[in-house]
Structure 1
Amino acid sequence: MRKFGFIMLILAIAVLAACSSNEQKASTETKDEKKNEEVSVDKGLLNVEVTLPASMFEGEDIDSVIAEAKKDGVKEVTKNEDGSLTYKMSKSKHKEMMKELETNVKDTIEETKTSGDFASIKDITHNDSFSEFTLLVDKSAYENSMDGFASIGFGMSGMIYQMFNGSDADNTKVTILIKDEATQETFDEIVYPDALEDSDTK
């Protein structure tokens, strides 16, 4: 499953780039072009098909990507005319992939809490679908630091997890709640990808 880990990183970059594009450019895209940049998941009775956009494989040797995917247990990989790749895998393999994504998110949470790089963040909780995270923080320390950048990682990870689990990309959102440890008051709320789009227009 090593290649899936690499794919997650590339997808995060692709999603971040797409979300950071300005609204004027987005409004000129056709529906077909927009669809080509999305992750598509089709869950059948026995197999799951995941279609990854061409933007994920820029600069990659496609034959090597396909060979690595098959080595990792993917049954079939189809090259599509638009440059995207469709991975066909068993439901058990898709479940394994989702488990790896879940583990990666939880490892990131633990590292954020224990590394010391985000000293104001005392605890992090989440729901099962990773569509909502709550950061319990020392409010004063948080507001006087750059620790808010941690929310970007959780926002991207949550979006990726949802999309690979079959969520419609247009409706995929992650809410980050910032709660004061002392008062238990939620004093900030960040919604991705909206926050990325808002920052681009400022």
Structure 2
Amino acid sequence: MKKFIIMMFFALVLLAACSSESGDEGKSEEASANTEETDKDNSESVNVDKGLLNVEITLPASMVEGESIEDLETEAKEDGIKKVTKNDDGSVTYKMSKSTHKELMAEMEESLKDSIEETKNSEDYVSIKDIKHNNDFSAFTMIVNKSDYENSMDGFATMSLGMAGMMYQLFDGADPDEYSVTIAVQDEESGDKFDEVVYPDALEDMETE
């Protein structure tokens, strides 16, 4: 099921990048664009329906663009997913047993924890000393050397944490209109939390800049 998870992760990151680019539109188009953006956001959200025996996950068309239904069905079958349906709007619905969904979430959790360890040990983020998180990845604390952090680009690490945390919550059935990921930045020496980033609010702020 690893290939399935990786595909969804990069698709979600791509969606966020495309969404942030929309902030460059002119002020004169803002009124009509707001309505269109609302419709677009609704059509691009990940929908999870948890039944008594099965779980259905619907991915928006933009997340499976360029993938044939035959390839998706083959990959899904290898992952133990019962059924793949391409909907009229281009979205794709995966139907799986609760046990398969549980396995999917366990593998996503493992991948996310591996990513956290890589971030902590990466030479690209020298100021980051540790990263703590809660059980559903809705809250992170990055423990850093404050001086090094403020004189580097290590703040970009919050984006990967935020995106991964959002993905985990979405596929676990979180409401796309209510979920969030809060990342606090804490000074290693003093223990003071001197910065905080909240997703998806941070992505919306990028659109307005």
- Could you say which TM-score interval applies, normalised by the shorter chain? over 0.9
Residue 21 of structure 2 corresponds to residue 14 of structure 1: no
Instruction: State whether residues 138 and 182 of structure 1, in contact with CA within 8 Å, keep that contact through their aligned partners in structure 2.
Output: yes
Instruction: State whether residues 20 and 197 of structure 1, in contact with CA within 8 Å, keep that contact through their aligned partners in structure 2.
Output: no
Q: Of residues 139, 148, 152 in structure 2, which corresponds to 1:145?
A: 152
Instruction: State whether residues 37 and 53 of structure 1, in contact with CA within 8 Å, keep that contact through their aligned partners in structure 2.
Output: yes
TM-score by length of 2: 0.90
CA distance 1:26–1:46, shift in 2 (3 Å): farther
Instruction: State whether residues 55 and 98 of structure 2, in contact with CA within 8 Å, keep that contact through their aligned partners in structure 1.
Output: yes
Aligned AA for 1:150? A
Residue matched to 2:201: 194
Unaligned runs of 5+ in 2: none
Deviation at 1:173, TM superposition (A): 1.1
Partner of 1:171, secondary structure, is: coil
Residues 169-184 of structure 1: matches in 2 within 5 Å?
169-184=176-191
Partner of 1:21, secondary structure, is: helix
Instruction: Tell me how far apart the structure 2 counterparts of residues 56 and 4 of structure 1 sit (CA, whole Å).
Output: 12
Residues 93-108 of structure 1: matches in 2 within 5 Å?
93-108=100-115
Deviation at 1:12, TM superposition (A): 2.4
Question: Which stretch of structure 1 is more off in the superposition, 178-187 or 57-66?
Answer: 57-66
Residues 156-171 of structure 1: matches in 2 within 5 Å?
156-171=163-178
Identity, % of aligned positions: 56
Count the aligned residue pairs: 202
Partner of 1:123, secondary structure, is: strand
Deviation readout 1:44-63 (Å, 9 max, x if unpaired): 11110000100011122232
TM-score by length of 1: 0.93
Deviation at 1:34, TM superposition (A): 3.2
Unaligned runs of 5+ in 1: none
Residue 129 of structure 2 corresponds to residue 122 of structure 1: yes
Deviation at 1:17, TM superposition (A): 2.4
